[in-house]
Amino acid sequence: MNKEEYQFTYEVFDSVDELSQPDSWLLNEARGVTESAYAPYSNFNVGAVAKLANGEIVAGTNQENASYPVGLCAERVLLSSAATLYPRIAIDTIAISYNNNNGESKHPISPCGICRQSLSEYEERTGQSIRLILSGMEGKVYIIPRSSDLLPLSFGRVDMKQN
């Protein structure tokens, strides 16, 4: 038997004020777009804003539904919009923020499992890593160099190939 270990490194900043101007701008846009979320059931508004490789900016927000399984996370709304508006254009960076209307929004959260799979697939299909900036409406900021770092042992197109 062999044991293997998975690790990744990410940056932690105390606040948005410590970020570069482009990263700060992108995170503040994500914080602002949370106002457009449709989250009447959870009151947990999530906003995601991406800078694409061609310089374009695309945003997405979570969209809930009374039939919970049909709701969409902000990350998947963003990925769908980016792929539709700018086919085959890679995403450089995505900033993700949230506003918890039932409590505090002071620490970074990371994408759910479905969104991690979707981000990993997007990286694979464009051949470029997606950098993530994660934060609440205030407080610490995490910068993760590759979204696929969040999904070790992922399932992808190579697993679907037939011999």
Closest alpha carbon to 77 in 23, 131, 30: 30
Neighbouring residues of 83: CB distance < 8 A, sequence distance ≥ 6: 122
Query: How far, in whole angstroms, is CA 144 from its chain's centroid?
Result: 10
Catalytic residues: 75
